[in-house]
Chains A and B, each alone.
Chain A
Amino acid sequence: MLLLYRSATSLSTIDMEEKRTIEEAKQSSSKKREVVIHIKGLKKSFGQKEVLKDINLDVHKGENVVVLGRSGTGKSVTIECIVGMLLPDEGEVTVFGDEVAAMNERQLKELRTRIGFLFQSGALYDSMTVRENLEFPLTRVLKMNDQAEIDRRIEEVLDGVDLIDAIDKMPSELSGGMRKRLGLARTLIVKPEIMLYDEPTTGLDPITSREISHLILKMQKKYKTTSIIITHDMECAEVTADRVVVMNDGEYVAEGSFDDIKKSKDEFVRSFF
């Protein structure tokens, strides 16, 4: 009796544990599948030139999506539509469930505090020192007043990108790689939920490019961001991508993991490798 009772109890415990595991897996799967950026039928033209023809993309929470494509195919235009720098001609761009084009100025500003945008050039404020560059978003965007907390966050983020020794230098005194790292630090200091990288390794030597790619991955893990990375750099794509989409002539022509894309038989996709 006792044995039967014990086995029945242990079975029910196993059932419970199994149930919990399945529930957790489901929860984590549903968490994983939470769409933070939803783009549907996006079209954008400049004069007669149709840059985006029909873009459809869902980016899930915590995911790194790499967008590959030739220059001038509208990759940057897509991410500019995500932050509301450009308005789509047709289609919808939804971020955190809200349509960007329908937002008023205040809502757009709030959204932008949750998104980090790393420009190709770094877009560092060249009249300010490294410290002032990092202070700017804290005091102007997050409206922080506590100088001790500001200093702590600056040191933390500079430590992360290994630039602590350059804290009082001007951007003009930094190398290309250092400027990229500082740009990344300035974007990450406000702890954004989404990161948009516009060609983060362009113009850098292969070693520095590799460093930046690994830094992007390291920072993504540390700050748990969702990212869209626009690049031509295949090594950067290989290091950072959970998923790769290939863009040609204003449309996405291929999508999959880096290995899937690498095995693609499409001539245009193969031309990247």
Chain B
Amino acid sequence: MTKPRLPQLNAVPDVVIGRAIQDPVFRYALLGAKTAEAIRSSVWDELEVQLSDKAVQQIQNLDTGQVDQALAAVKDGAPSAQ
């Protein structure tokens, strides 16, 4: 039912991005993973989501500084509740 007919803008599923934004433990486990397999199993274990090769590549290209910068866009990383 999700994203009918439209291409996904992010190869990394929104739910993975959102968890990384909201959960520092998951964020650092994800960004600290050294191999593609470690990234895949981190995401599967936590969210039951399978990542594509492109998604894994995008995650490998991210660093904590970039994510921290994104979080700084929202003072405490807390979005609206609705």
Are A and B associated in one complex?
no
